[in-house]
Amino acid sequence: MADETIFSKIIRKEIPADIIYQDELVTAFNDINPQAPTHILIVPNILIPTVNDTNKEHEQALGRMITVAAKLAKQQDIAEDGYRLIINCNKHGGQEVYHIHMHLLGGKPLGPMLTR
């Protein structure tokens, strides 16, 4: 069993966070260090450390992460202009928190996907 991260405590509301959505499968909250006007993290309620650890049983929660991203983008009024969804994996991907999460970024032109 992988070690819990701070995200499990946020999901269980044991520590404060700006939670903007929660259901039986996923939780979404504002990133503490926003990189864009909208920067929301969408996480499964169960601990899956990285994309490498996903399996068929996780498909419902992983799919919900996308549909919740679309719902929140509409709520934040960034759907039409567009936005970016990012999931970092491990060291080369720049993953810092080992509880899989999707970044929803938008509210301004985000530029090229990778700095060159």
Active site residues: 101
- Compare residues 22 and 88 and give the one whose CB is closer to ligand AMP: 88
Q: Which segments of the chain are extended strands (E)?
A: 19-22, 26-30, 38-44, 83-86, 102-106
Whole-number Cα distances in Å, 63 to 4, 54, 76, 94 = 22, 12, 20, 23
Q: Which is it for strands 83-86 and 26-30: parallel, antiparallel or unpaired?
A: unpaired
Binding mask 2-41 for ligand AMP (x = CB under 6 A): ----x----------x-----------x-xxx-------x
Please report, as residue ranges, which positions from 39 to 98 form the binding site for ligand AMP (by CB under 6 A): 41, 88, 94-97
Residues forming the site for ligand AMP (CB under 6 A): 6, 17, 29, 31-33, 41, 88, 94-97
